[in-house]
Amino acid sequence: MHGSSRLILAHFWAAFAVFAVAIPLGVWQMWVRSPLHEWLPNPELYYRAVTAHGTTFAYVFPTLIAMGFGYVACVVSLGRPLHGVRLAWLAYWLVIAGAALALATVAAGDATVLYTFYPPLSGSPNYYLGILIAVVGSWIWVGLMISHFLRWKRDYPGLPVPLAMFATTAGALLWSWTSLGVGAEIIFMILPNAYGWTDTVDPGLARVLFSWTLHAIVYFWLIPAYIAFYTLLPQAAGGRLYSDKMGRVSFLLLLIFSMPIGVHHLYADPQIGAGFKFLHAVFTGMVAVPTLLTIFTICASLEIAGRLRGGRGLLGWVAALPWDRPMVLASAMSLVMLGLGGASGLINMSYALNSTIHNTQWVTGHFHLIYAGAVVIMYFAIAYEFWPHLTGRPLVSLKLVRLQLWTWCIGMLATTLPWHYVGLLGEPRRMAYFDFTNPLMAPQAFWDSMSAISGLILLFSAALLLYILIASHRTPAGVMDTPRLSLAVEPPRSLPRSLNSFGIWILLVAALTIANYGFPIAQFLFVKNSSVPAYSVEAP
């Protein structure tokens, strides 16, 4: 790995360390609010666990994976060492320090505000400061990725930037732009209020700024999974990528359309006009395009692999795929969960249909299926793919790896599909307990119990993942191949500027953001009496 293995491993290990802490918290939440457990005497503990779980999985775990995998994409696709390694370590330690500060504050009970902050709830400033430090750390990584992209282009003018690097840069640009929303909310609204410099906070404006971040952040989490689909899966399946250009188009569309759509999280918010809700709904529909392009390209690539391996007939190539390989197995599971979660997402993004499931457990089911299911299982696959290259040691057992992937997939489906159903029945999300003796709630008891029990499967799977990673790190050193990325059927020799650069696309992203967010934000300069006093949740 061109001398970068330590840096990359540090990212992966830190990510899986926080994963190990936050997964049991999620399982515990499902358990204590299910009919299988008595009511918590103090619901504060539940919300503290929700805040820690959400903070870890929104700001820390995927950021570390995206950063680590970004460095992998850099060194493997560009075939040369990283530059700015000291800055990379600085970014790493900022993320670690910020995460530690934020999570310690939550653990102390001083910031039970959930990871979405929800002003006028107000916690200890240390919590927000911690998140800000972590985000600033990730901005250094963004700078490094852009710098690697530009330097390579300078050194090899006219040649296509390798797809993995192109996509990683798209992800970095997306994150830099979308994290400005939450950054502005923390710096200009929440921190001054938490420090007592301002008496009031405007929840409407805060929610609009958070929505700026809230949807595209999911695509920032998703992009490593998509990069794996395009650049790791075809080779792991024994074939080639169907189209390199389709990959570039998909990543560009993700960059352009995932940002100016966040108002679809605010359909029930009175401070946004219906016209803007409609506008964002239409553009939300557009992000389905790169996902559909990706599913098409990946299935075509897998068909190439299956036929190369002797598959015949309409679907014979499916059976011929090497299902014993973790990357192939995980990708198929990921696509199944992406399909189901994407379908429930279509309900969420529809202005009218959304009202039936708004703020219900359906929404929790949707984003866990997409993120904790489709995306995180690809993080596992990425870790399994590169662990031997990073540690110089083979994986301890492929059988255990497959068991881990199966239990994660089954556990996640069995956890989240019941959530969808109880959401349809009207079960609200973010509740510390439910009164299942109420006839209206009684039909949900069985399904909530099913989710809680499925959580134990996920706990087992998480423990197995950690065992495999630790045990593989301790096996005797072996001789590992050089890591390689998938070749396209027709590798591009030269590309038009539109598929090999970002300059004009960034302008388009900025223009769309101003068009879609300009008025919803600027209106707060003129609306009066929309600020309220904060409600402190700090422990007395």
CB of 272 to another protein, least distance (A): 6
* Cα gap 60→178, rounded to integer Å: 16
Structure tokens at 163: 């797809």
Annotate each residue in 323-352 with x if it binds another protein (CB under 8 A) or - if it does not, as one string.
------------------------------
Residue placing its CB nearer to another protein in the complex, 87 or 289: 289
CB of 491 to another protein, least distance (A): 15
Binding to another protein, residues 39-98 (CB under 8 A): 39, 41-44
**One of 438, 477, 481, 482 touching another protein (CB under 8 A):** 438
Strand pairing class (121-122; 535-536): parallel
**One of 86, 154, 197, 274 touching another protein (CB under 8 A):** 274
Closest CA to 61 of 17, 117, 6, 29: 17
Residue 271 binds to another protein (criterion: CB under 8 A): yes
Q: Spell out the SS3 assignment of 432-455.
A: CCCCCCCCCCHHHHHHHHHHHHHH
**One of 161, 304, 499, 502 touching another protein (CB under 8 A):** 499
* Cα gap 328→234, rounded to integer Å: 8
For residue 136, report the phi and psi dihedrals to the nearest 5 degrees. Answer: -60, -40
For residue 273, report the phi and psi dihedrals to the nearest 5 degrees. Answer: -70, 155
* Cα gap 186→192, rounded to integer Å: 8
Residue placing its CB nearer to another protein in the complex, 113 or 337: 113
Residue placing its CB nearer to another protein in the complex, 266 or 330: 266
CB of 42 to another protein, least distance (A): 8
* Cα gap 355→360, rounded to integer Å: 10
Dihedral sign (CA 39, 41, 47, 50): negative
**Residue 311 gets which letter from DSSP?**
-
CB of 105 to another protein, least distance (A): 19
CB of 355 to another protein, least distance (A): 16
Residue placing its CB nearer to another protein in the complex, 315 or 440: 440
**One of 246, 279, 363, 396 touching another protein (CB under 8 A):** 279
**One of 500, 506, 521, 524 touching another protein (CB under 8 A):** 500
Q: Identify any residues that bridge with 532 across adjacent strands, giving them in sequence order.
A: 201
Looking up tokens 């940002």, which residue turns up?
259
Residue placing its CB nearer to another protein in the complex, 26 or 260: 260
Residue placing its CB nearer to another protein in the complex, 41 or 476: 41
CB of 158 to another protein, least distance (A): 4
CA geometry: angle 155, 159, 164, nearest 5 deg: 95
* Cα gap 300→294, rounded to integer Å: 10
CA distances from 190 to 176, 195, 278 (A): 20, 9, 29
Class of residue 86 by CB neighbours under 10 A (exposed 0-12, middle 13-18, buried 19+): exposed
Are 133 and 57 in contact, with CB atoms under 8 Å apart?
no
Structure tokens at 257: 């359309």
CB of 150 to another protein, least distance (A): 14
Residue 313 binds to another protein (criterion: CB under 8 A): no
CB of 513 to another protein, least distance (A): 12
> Which residues, in sequence order, are CB contacts of 517 under 8 Å at separation 6+?
208, 212, 260, 262, 263
Find the part of the chain contacting another protein (CB under 8 A) among 65-73, 394-402, 415-423, 494-502: 494-502
Residue 197 binds to another protein (criterion: CB under 8 A): no
Residue 195 binds to another protein (criterion: CB under 8 A): no
Are 193 and 277 in contact, with CB atoms under 8 Å apart?
no
CB of 253 to another protein, least distance (A): 9
* Cα gap 220→66, rounded to integer Å: 8
Residue 498 binds to another protein (criterion: CB under 8 A): yes
Residue 518 binds to another protein (criterion: CB under 8 A): no
**One of 86, 154, 197, 275 touching another protein (CB under 8 A):** 275
**One of 276, 406, 460, 467 touching another protein (CB under 8 A):** 276
Residue 13 binds to another protein (criterion: CB under 8 A): no
Q: Dihedral through CA 93, CA 97, CA 100, CA 105, nearest 10?
A: -170
Find the part of the chain contacting another protein (CB under 8 A) among 34-42, 90-98, 179-187, 310-318: 34-42
Residue placing its CB nearer to another protein in the complex, 55 or 513: 513
Q: Identify any residues that bridge with 533 across adjacent strands, giving them in sequence order.
A: 200
**One of 339, 478, 491, 533 touching another protein (CB under 8 A):** 533
* Cα gap 228→333, rounded to integer Å: 14
H helix or E strand, kind and range, residue 122: strand 121-122
Find the part of the chain contacting another protein (CB under 8 A) among 232-240, 329-337, 463-471, 511-519: 511-519
Q: Total binding residues for another protein by CB under 8 A? A: 40
For residue 526, report the phi and psi dihedrals to the nearest 5 degrees. Answer: -110, -25
CB of 409 to another protein, least distance (A): 36
Active site residues: 215, 219, 366-368, 429-430
Which residues of this protein are in contact with another protein, per CB under 8 A?
A: 39, 41-44, 157-158, 199-200, 256, 271-276, 278-279, 282-283, 286, 435, 438, 440, 494-500, 504, 508, 512, 515, 519-520, 523, 533, 535
